[in-house]
Structure 1
Amino acid sequence: MNSAGWFVLVGALMLAMGLTAPLMKRFAVTSAMLYLAVGLLVGPTGFGLFHFNPLEQSALLEVLTEVVVLISLFSAGVKMPVPVSLARWRAPVLLAFVSMTVTVVLVAGFGHYVLGLSLGAAVLLGAILAPTDPVLATEVQIRHAEDRDRLRFTLTCEAGMNDGSAFPFVMLGLGLLGLHDLGTFGQRWWLLDVLWATGAAVIVGGVAGWGLARMSLYVRRSGHHIELLNDFLGLGLIGLVYGICLWINAWGFLAVFFAAVVLRQTELKFAGAELERAPETPQLQVEPASARVSAGSLVFKEHLERLSELVLILLIGGMLFLDSWSWRATALALFLFTVARPLSVMVGLAGSRTPWRIRGLASWFGVRGIGSLYYLMYAIEHGIGEELAVELIHLTLVVVALSILVHGLSVKPMMRKFWRRSRE
């Protein structure tokens, strides 16, 4: 397909989505399902009008997915409800770290003993498929900053954190394949890839988010009526935090999410203090919510996220062949959806006060997507063998495609039933 064909295809899809958005809300169909269907139709599975080779274009695809995940993580972070509390955050933290670890172990066991992969390849596969997706799970994500739905908060917060918490297991898999130094008895992996990279990411993100909130408040209170470019500030925060983390070998995904969370929490804390002081000092002009960096940059980020989703899901359709749908890939997807995800959620939330209805829905809605694609490209770029790379490409793409279809078909009916019962 030439450039003209791509412009026509993407333009027609955007027009169709814009015109039929109200109609789509009535049916159990998501935008990702439609993009995937079109990609499969015009790709090698259908008419063969284009084929995107992820093995040859892994560097490009790694950058594209990296940028999309970063934007999505920032958007998720600034929509987190205020204030942060241990009681509210306990469930998503358990899901992002405990349940994610259990998922890696279960998928690695399936890959090693059922699919016949080496231990390193199986661990790498588990790490690729363990994180839930912050991009595609729009129907079960926080809709806006004032959304207080507990299920959506839990799933959004989990996806925001486990895209970073899965990274140590990616490095463990690469280490077992001889592509990363784990140290004696895994000492380097524990100290640097787990403890340092995770702790440093949280600190860098928190400090940067607080610092931007403080600086923007200072500029707005300076009395010069400066119009801040919130979109640039948000993107600048993403770039700065992620670049620092790459420089000091910390997990940038985790840092960007926490930077966005702290930015919003700090801004609203300052706004609350201003409102308390306003009656005593009427000369103080309290800025509206739309003037804050977190809220002001959110709309732009969400538009980028939607456009990125369209392009990347089309590319996924263009990577799949008919023979990609092997029993190995299908069996892996079924195991992940019906065994690994439910069991990991129940283990992670055991002993917590999370209602059983929320546990049940969280057990099902572990959507896999762009994050998994990024980790796959990251592994390919770090030198895994071509034979293993092709195997992981087929397995990952089929799992992501089936997740889009299966979770997409079930999300609207199940969520409507959940909200109806919640109101009763």
Structure 2
Amino acid sequence: MEQTPDTQGSLPRTAAATTPENPWPLRVLSEKLKAHIENSPESWVEGQLLEANIRNGHAYLTLRDVDVDYSFSVTVWASVMRTLDIAPEVGARVVARVKPSFYTKTGRLSLNAFDLRPVGLGDLLARLERLRRALFDEGLFDPARKLRLPLLPGRIGLITGRNSDAEKDVIRNATLRWPAVAFDIRNTAVQGVNAVPEVIAALRELDANPQIEVIIIARGGGALEDLLPFSSEDLVRAVAACGTPVISAIGHEADRPILDDVADLRASTPTDAAKRVVPDLVEELANLAHARARLDRAVRTNVQREAQRIASLRARPVLANPQSIIQGRGEDIERLSRRGTLAMRSSLARGHDSIAHLRAQVRALSPQQTLDRGYAVVTADGGGIVRSAGDAPVHSLIGVRLAHGQLNATVTSSNVPAPSTNSPQHTQTLTNKGQSA
């Protein structure tokens, strides 16, 4: 509706200039909002179709975000519908080229779609691979940042669907392996738009509980579209920031959501997660029995070996008869004593023989031995030895020492022989004469 110049001049030009005394009519605000909203450019959006009503060739759709509970009404006019390859179906995941539209009479905001395309499996896989590569480049998949699982967790957090087969498989198999296992279960949506926020909320609640030592996120198999929440970037980053070890047990062996790459341990199935989170009691008891047997065998072997060593030591003569060492040493002393005595006696005998030989030699050379052979020693009255007849003049007293006893005699006659030319006296006389000449 057009306004008169007077009316237009009296209205505030901007919303900030309005007052209780000078407000805008509602139609002015609606028209301004319509002009502002419909000036927005076209954009491509993605979502899932919750409603699809087709009347008179027009399609009236409700498009919801794939991760959070946001929705928008979308209108596809008949002219656009005729250009589409397939008709919109409830549950389909689509991308649409839309532009906002504001209906002033009811204040209703909606989107007008000018193109609508289904998201194919190839497109989904390509987008997931791009996201997987980006998260890998950030280092979220680095094995060095993954946490080690406890050997025997005291309490396990389990995030899964309510009354799901995955929940039953995990609890049944874990209990069979370790009957004392305890679970703290959080039932959440595991597909659809509510899955991501509910799983993230349960994950953060369990991570904040200090009694929870490991968390299992489990879901049964399904189509790729059903498992898409477990490739959500928000959920992947929440698991990466979790301080408690997380096990991903989504789908079957062939399923590979991005959650498997960022989790601390990837289990092929929920049953596999139950087998890997707790040890097998039967196996552990068998290992314990085996270890006990090995320990018992090792102790017995060691005792037997030491007993054999002790028996070997006791069998030695020194321990069997400790006096044998003393006896042996006593025998050695006696043998050495006998050898010393024999050596001493032999040495003494040789000494006696040597002394007797020397005594014989001395006796053979002594004057007494000469006297014993019949010789005599003649001494003058003055005590000197008479060597020549000239030394004892006639009528002089002499002494004669025999082998036995001594005689005193008087020289009655003397026969002094002429000096010989070879005698020492004659030679001395000739020498004296030569010197006088």
Q: TM-score, normalised by structure 1?
A: 0.21
Compare the two structures and name the one with the higher helix fraction: 1
Higher relative contact order by CA 8 Å / sep ≥ 6: 1 or 2? 1
Q: TM-score, normalised by structure 2?
A: 0.21
Q: Which has the larger radius of gyration?
A: 2
Structure number with the higher strand fraction is 2
